[in-house]
């Protein structure tokens, strides 16, 4: 993150875990609990307090011990009082020491007020350890402030948390793809606005949001990647002869087949109607993708002999060239063209086809 771009892998994982936890919070106290527990996992301090001051000096404060357990205010003598002085006063030196304790803190803006994350260690802890924590505490404070601000406006939360999460991923590109896969909390936050209601897959917006990030990383690192466009065959016939409820079930079945044919790391979406798309990174080759897809289609139809229809897919696949200036949207259009070319040429001959650009 911006206060320290050279976090260790362990610190980066803890920070991303904290970011993901904060994305799912719906109450201010839950957000402060997550922040306190996250700092405790990182540093095991002597104690910490988080203070948020809003309109008319209305304050919310919560105090933790070094294991991240919530304690009554005043459990660490003078800690809450020091936090109140700091949140109302000018920004002092980053590390303060008393006869018994050392402190670091990070302040953050809050609508019509401000907040602070204040962490303390016994004086027996080496000054270098305390000083090294300052950048992380500041970043955690900024993230906490962004989350607390969501209770005044959800749209601003999404922008700020997305910026902080993306900054975490960008700070260590070697871990970006793996960490991105595990960011389930962010996916949950976006679920309503980026998910297709009928199938549970990404919708068009969700596809471009998730796939674009992986696409940019793959292009920079010259990793193999491909865009797949799939069309459900005979949907109109099923709708006309069996009704739209049966047609909807055909779409859900096709989505289930696609979901089983790709890996968890791949991005799969229903673009609308009978059209689906997928983006895959570091898969062996398009032929292997087609083999998996054909096998899943055959397995599904074999297991449903009395179905009113058979699932059939026409598929176009385009490999992405790292030396090309084409965008993800350009590759999706090329995969669409490849699918229709194959559909016209080989209609009815198999359950899934591949056309490689």
What DSSP string runs through 78-133?
THHHHHHHHHHS----SEEE-SSEEEEEEEEEETTEEEEEEEEEETTS-HHHHHHT
Write down the pLDDT at residue 135.
Answer: 81
Write down the pLDDT at residue 96.
Answer: 47
Write down the pLDDT at residue 93.
Answer: 45
What residues does 267 pair with on adjacent strands? 279
Residue ranges, the chain, pLDDT below 50 = 5, 93-97, 99, 155, 174, 350-357
61-70: which pairs have CB atoms within 8 A and are 24 or more residues apart? Answer: 62/29, 62/32, 62/33, 62/36, 64/36, 64/37, 64/39, 64/40, 66/40, 67/40, 68/36, 68/37, 68/39, 68/40, 68/41, 70/33, 70/36
Write down the pLDDT at residue 25.
Answer: 78
235-239: which pairs have CB atoms within 8 A and are 24 or more residues apart? Answer: 235/273, 235/274, 238/308, 238/309
Our measurement of the distance from residue 112's CA atom to the centroid of its chain's CA atoms, rounded to an integer in Å, reads 30
Strand 113-122, strand 267-272: pairing: unpaired
* Residues contacting 297, CB < 8 A, separation 6+: 257, 311, 312, 313, 351, 352
User: Residue 285: what are its φ and ψ, rounded to 5°?
Assistant: -165, 160
Write down the pLDDT at residue 191.
Answer: 66
Write down the pLDDT at residue 356.
Answer: 42
Q: What is the spatial distance between Cα 20 and Cα 143, in angstroms, rounded to a whole number? A: 11
* Residues contacting 123, CB < 8 A, separation 6+: 97, 98, 99, 100, 101, 102
What is the signed CA dihedral for 203, 205, 208, 213, rounded to 10 degrees? Answer: -110
Instruction: Annotate 39-68 with DSSP letters as a single string.
Output: HHHHH--SEEEEEEE-GGG-EEEEEEETTS
Write down the pLDDT at residue 355.
Answer: 40
Write down the pLDDT at residue 19.
Answer: 80
Q: What is the spatial distance between Cα 289 and Cα 309, in angstroms, rounded to a whole number? A: 24
- In this structure, the chain runs to a length of 357
pTM of the model: 0.46
Question: CA 22 → CA 45, 119, 143, distances in Å?
Answer: 21, 19, 9
Write down the pLDDT at residue 174.
Answer: 47
Q: What is the spatial distance between Cα 30 and Cα 97, in angstroms, rounded to a whole number? A: 30
At residue 348, the 3 state secondary structure works out as coil
Dihedral sign for Cα atoms in the order 344, 349, 352, 354: negative
Write down the pLDDT at residue 175.
Answer: 59
Write down the pLDDT at residue 17.
Answer: 81
Instruction: Extract the tokens encoding 247.
Output: 């047609």
How many CB atoms within 10 Å of residue 179? 18
Q: What is the spatial distance between Cα 339 and Cα 334, in angstroms, rounded to a whole number? A: 9
Q: What is the spatial distance between Cα 329 and Cα 290, in angstroms, rounded to a whole number? A: 22
User: Residue 153: what are its φ and ψ, rounded to 5°?
Assistant: 175, 110
């Amino acid at each position: 993150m911006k206060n320290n771009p050279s976090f260790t892998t362990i610190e980066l994982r803890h920070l991303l875990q904290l970011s993901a936890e904060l994305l799912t919070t719906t109450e201010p106290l839950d957000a402060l609990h997550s922040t306190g527990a996250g700092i405790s996992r990182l540093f095991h301090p002597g104690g910490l307090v988080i203070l948020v001051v809003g309109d008319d000096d209305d304050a919310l404060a919560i105090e933790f011990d070094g294991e991240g357990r919530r304690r009554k205010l005043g459990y660490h003598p003078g800690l809450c009082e020091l936090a109140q002085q700091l949140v109302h006063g000018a920004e002092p030196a980053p590390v303060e020491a008393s006869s018994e304790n050392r402190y670091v803190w990070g302040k953050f803006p809050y609508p019509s007020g401000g907040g602070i994350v204040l962490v303390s260690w016994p004086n027996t802890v080496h000054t270098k350890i305390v000083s090294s924590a300052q950048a992380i505490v500041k970043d955690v404070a900024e993230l906490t402030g962004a989350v607390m601000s969501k209770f005044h406006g959800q749209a601003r939360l999404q922008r700020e948390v997305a910026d902080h999460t993306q900054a975490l991923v960008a700070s260590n590109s070697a871990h970006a793809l793996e960490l991105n896969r595990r960011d389930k909390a962010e996916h949950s936050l976006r679920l309503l606005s980026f998910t297709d209601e009928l199938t549970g897959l990404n919708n068009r917006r969700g596809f471009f949001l998730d796939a674009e990030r992986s696409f940019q990383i793959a292009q920079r690192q010259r990793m193999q990647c491909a865009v797949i466009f799939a069309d459900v065959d005979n949907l109109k016939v099923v709708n006309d002869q069996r009704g739209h409820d049966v047609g909807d079930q055909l779409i859900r079945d096709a989505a289930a087949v696609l979901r089983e044919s790709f890996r968890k790391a791949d991005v799969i979406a229903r673009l609308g109607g009978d059209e689906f798309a997928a983006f895959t990174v570091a898969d062996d080759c398009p032929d292997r993708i087609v083999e998996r897809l054909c096998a899943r289609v055959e397995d599904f139809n074999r297991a449903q002999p009395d179905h009113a229809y058979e699932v059939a897919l026409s598929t176009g696949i385009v490999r992405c060239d790292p030396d090309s200036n084409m965008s993800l949207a350009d590759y999706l259009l090329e995969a669409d063209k490849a699918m229709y070319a194959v559909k016209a040429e080989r209609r009815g001959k198999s359950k899934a086809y591949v056309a490689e650009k």
